[in-house]
């Protein structure tokens, strides 16, 4: 199996992971509600989303500061604790009632043990399959919890604002790339990791350096200040080899298209950079799976009009089902773009596909556009 085929297979696995997260969130909507986990008093108030988004901004600034000043160990423990906390609710919803001993519900005891085992595995042996398993549990739990607390309008506001924020933070300020790199180095379940070979080990993998990594002076020429070629006539093997693989990717693609370049004279690392390189694994953020799934779970809970469909035995409203289809369509486009070798913001495509899919299903269910957007209570 060549590298291209392995990438396609890994992309299929990522599609499967997103499907499982969304299906799991749908399955947990009712158990979470019955468990008294709907804390919002007014689930139709878009102010819920604004508060949550403000919390994300504060948390992002805090995490960047912690990473910058060497507090990764503390942050890692906080994230693992969050995983244990969410896993407790997920396992609690899955374990059937088993009675009680000494006033303690056995189902809660089993849920706590399962959550602690997951946390111990994350702390002691954060291999890729441990990270992915924890990510699925956290994703299912977070999406289900937010879904029953965010009505349609708050969910839509959340998806739109976070899609814009993701685009700005990746293509503009680029701080999200720095944050993602720092998080990946801590080996915590904030990303899904899908290897491209059976021999891959997340524990042994070297992480890509962030843009602000300091380089030790080894006597070689610093190419960071060297101007990038802006004319096809300026591009030759000597120039590209001197720039190195990290900087050739910054050269405009249109300049390369017109250059008369003989790749045989290029260093191997530079050739790999020009062709997009060969990844050892595909990475995609946990938030990319959770945020679109909030609307899926919300549509399953708050939309009461129209037909329902059964997805592998899980009942869902038509808008929830079409929102899932929209997410997977957006994810397919995102994975195609990522395989071209450049980082891309995930939420614009994912959230856009989810919202489009939801609106199609809502209108087919007989809702007006105003009702579908959750504005009927305000007009």
Question: pLDDT (tens digit, 9 = 90+) per residue, 124-165?
Answer: 999 999 999 999 999 999 999 999 999 999 999 999 999 999
Burial-class residue 214 by CB neighbours within 10 Å (0-12, 13-18, 19+). exposed
What local confidence, expressed as pLDDT, does residue 90 receive? Answer: 95
Per DSSP, 169 falls in state: I
SS3 content of the chain, % helix, strand, coil (to 5): 65, 5, 30
Sign of the dihedral defined by the CA atoms of residues 363, 368, 373, 374, in that order: negative
Per DSSP, 168 falls in state: I
Strands (E) across 76-120 are located at 100-101, 104-105
What local confidence, expressed as pLDDT, does residue 377 receive? Answer: 76
What local confidence, expressed as pLDDT, does residue 258 receive? Answer: 55
* CA 336 – CA 334 distance, rounded (Å): 5
What local confidence, expressed as pLDDT, does residue 376 receive? Answer: 84
User: Poorest-confidence range of 164-178, 189-203, 215-229, 365-379?
Assistant: 215-229
Which pTM value belongs to this model? 0.79
Which residues make Cβ contacts (< 8 Å) with residue 355, sequence separation at least 6?
156, 159, 160, 295, 323, 326
Q: Which of 212, 175, 188 is nearest to 74 (CA)?
A: 188
Q: Which residue has the higher pLDDT, 48 or 234?
A: 48
Question: pLDDT (tens digit, 9 = 90+) per residue, 325-338?
Answer: 999 999 999 998 88
The owner of tokens 């959750």 is 374
């Amino acid at each position: 199996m060549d590298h291209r085929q392995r990438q396609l297979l890994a992309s299929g696995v990522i599609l499967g992971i997103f499907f499982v997260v969304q299906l799991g969130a749908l399955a947990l909507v009712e158990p979470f509600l019955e468990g008294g986990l709907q804390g919002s008093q007014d689930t139709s108030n878009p102010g819920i989303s604004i508060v949550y988004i403000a919390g994300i901004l504060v948390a992002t600034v805090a995490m960047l500061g912690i990473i910058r000043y060497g507090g990764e160990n503390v942050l890692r423990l906080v994230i693992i604790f969050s995983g244990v906390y969410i896993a407790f609710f997920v396992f609690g919803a899955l374990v059937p009632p088993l009675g009680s001993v000494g006033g303690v519900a056995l189902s809660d005891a089993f849920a706590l043990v399962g959550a602690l085992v997951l946390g111990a595995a994350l702390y002691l042996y954060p291999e890729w399959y441990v990270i992915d398993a924890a990510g699925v549990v956290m994703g299912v739990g977070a999406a289900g919890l937010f879904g029953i607390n965010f009505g349609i309008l708050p969910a839509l506001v959340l998806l739109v604002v976070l899609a814009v924020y993701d685009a700005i933070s990746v293509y503009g300020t680029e701080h999200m790339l720095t944050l993602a790199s720092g998080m990946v180095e801590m080996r915590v379940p904030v990303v899904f990791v899908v290897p491209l070979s059976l021999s891959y080990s997340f524990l042994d993998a070297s992480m890509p350096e962030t843009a602000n990594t300091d380089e030790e002076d080894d006597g070689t020429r610093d190419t960071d200040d060297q101007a990038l070629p802006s004319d096809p006539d300026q591009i030759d093997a000597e120039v590209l080899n001197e720039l190195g693989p990290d900087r050739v990717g910054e050269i405009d693609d249109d300049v390369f298209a017109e250059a008369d370049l003989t790749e045989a004279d290029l260093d191997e690392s530079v050739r790999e950079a020009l062709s997009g390189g060969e990844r050892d694994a595909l990475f995609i953020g946990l938030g990319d799976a959770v945020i679109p799934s909030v609307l899926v779970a919300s549509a399953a809970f708050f939309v009461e009009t129209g037909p329902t469909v059964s997805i592998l035995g899980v009942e869902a409203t038509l808008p929830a089902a079409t929102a899932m289809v929209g997410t997977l369509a957006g994810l397919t486009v995102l994975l195609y773009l990522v395989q071209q070798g450049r980082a891309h913001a995930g939420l614009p495509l994912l959230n856009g596909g989810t919202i489009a899919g939801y609106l199609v299903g809502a209108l087919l269910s007989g809702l007006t556009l105003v009702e579908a957007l959750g504005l009927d209570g305000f007009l």
